[in-house]
Structure 1
Amino acid sequence: MSEDQAINGANGAPPAQTGAQFSVEKIYVKDVSFESPRSPAIFNEQTQPQLNMNLNQSVQRVGDNAYEVVLAITLTCTLGEDSANTVYVAEVKQAGVFGLAGFDGNTLDALLGTQCPNVLYPYARQMIGDLIQAGGFPPFLLQPINFDALYAEGLRQRAQQAGEQPTTDQIGNA
């Protein structure tokens, strides 16, 4: 038995982990809203609706190795191009606290811009779908989003604004 204790640690504590660590600490809804300003008259309309999605992300450091990432999705459905003919607006701010330790700056930025929203998106997608259906409208499922491509595009735009070309290392790390 003493050999087992020596191998597993004398106090039964797990061995200390080294290297980079990524963890999901908490996932939660930060804000949610649904509006259907023309209900119930809108349910009699027979025209093709137009959908517009706005996607936004914010990151805030909340501890030494903890970051809150908020993925905000606003889905606006209108009849035609006129915003006065709004069918509904569904807004969700899906948030999470992520533990990230042992990463260099570029890798940390890439993880916050790609992996964290990839974790949050299915929750936001489900919430948007539930809101729309609860509002009396046909079920709607948002299509998958390639956050890696969005991050790479963001790197390109930042590099252009800074007056330089992104390197393949910067894009490859996206």
Structure 2
Amino acid sequence: MADEDLQPVFNIQRMYLKDLSLEQPNAPASLLEQGQPAVDINLTLAAQPVQEGIYEVAVTATVTTKVNDKVLFLIEAKQAGIFEIRNLPQEQLDGILGIVCPQMVYPYLRVIVSDMCTRAGFPPVLLTEVNFQAMFEAQQQARAEQAAGATQN
């Protein structure tokens, strides 16, 4: 094997919108509601192998906006990227998939959610910056605690 075959590889193959939905279940009545809307934002992250050395990383945002307990709108957007990642130890691969790739995908998701709100006739919802490293470390800690609890039982 040549030395270049063992060099770490990281390439972005493609960024794409995997799924997008908008619901306004109580329109038009909900559009006449007065009051400050409550916005609930839920983010999820998924990473999976597509083929040898190729991974899909997807970040999903679910945005639910209500006024007086009536849903104004619900947006679910899933932005994904395909990444070529080779010749890395598993612990580094986990960090790349859980931190680096989502950081690259997330700005696209932020734009899509904001744009969809505007197109639906509402002020844009601006997703805040996310510290994917802190999220990753919290998930690793929770897994470690769960594993420790399972071995004690």
After TM superposition, the score normalised by the length of structure 1 is 0.79
- How many Å separate the matches in 2 of 1:71 and 1:65? 20
Q: Determine which of 142, 147, 150 is the counterpart of 2:135.
A: 150
2:105 is matched with which residue? 120
Q: Determine which of 46, 49, 66 is the counterpart of 2:34.
A: 46
| Backbone CA RMSD of aligned residues | 1.7
Q: CA deviation at 1:17?
A: 6.8
Q: Determine which of 55, 76, 79 is the counterpart of 1:67.
A: 55
After TM superposition, the score normalised by the length of structure 2 is 0.90
- How many Å separate the matches in 2 of 1:156 and 1:78? 33
2:66–2:73: 8 Å Cα contact kept in structure 1?
yes
- How many Å separate the matches in 1 of 2:53 and 2:67? 46
- How many Å separate the matches in 2 of 1:55 and 1:143? 11
Report whether the alignment pairs 1:35 with 2:20: no
Report whether the alignment pairs 1:110 with 2:95: yes
Q: CA deviation at 1:119?
A: 0.6
Q: Determine which of 61, 67, 81 is the counterpart of 1:79.
A: 67
- How many Å separate the matches in 2 of 1:112 and 1:38? 38
Provide, for residues 75-123 of structure 1, a one-character-per-residue CA deviation record: whole Å limited to 9, x for no partner.
111124x3xx101001101111101111100000010000111010011
Report whether the alignment pairs 1:141 with 2:126: yes
| Counterpart residue type for residue 106 of structure 2 | Y
Percent of aligned pairs with the same residue?
36
State the SS of the aligned residue for 2:43: strand
Q: Determine which of 136, 145, 149 is the counterpart of 1:160.
A: 145
Q: CA deviation at 1:127?
A: 0.4
Q: CA deviation at 1:46?
A: 1.8
Q: CA deviation at 1:23?
A: 0.9
- How many Å separate the matches in 2 of 1:129 and 1:31? 15
- How many Å separate the matches in 2 of 1:76 and 1:68? 26
- Unmatched segments (≥5 aa) in structure 2: none
| Counterpart residue type for residue 109 of structure 1 | D
2:117 is matched with which residue? 132
1:12 is matched with which residue? none
Q: What count of residue pairs does the alignment treat as equivalent?
A: 147
Runs (4+) of structure 1 moved beyond 6 Å?
A: none
- How many Å separate the matches in 1 of 2:5 and 2:52? 17
Report whether the alignment pairs 1:101 with 2:89: no
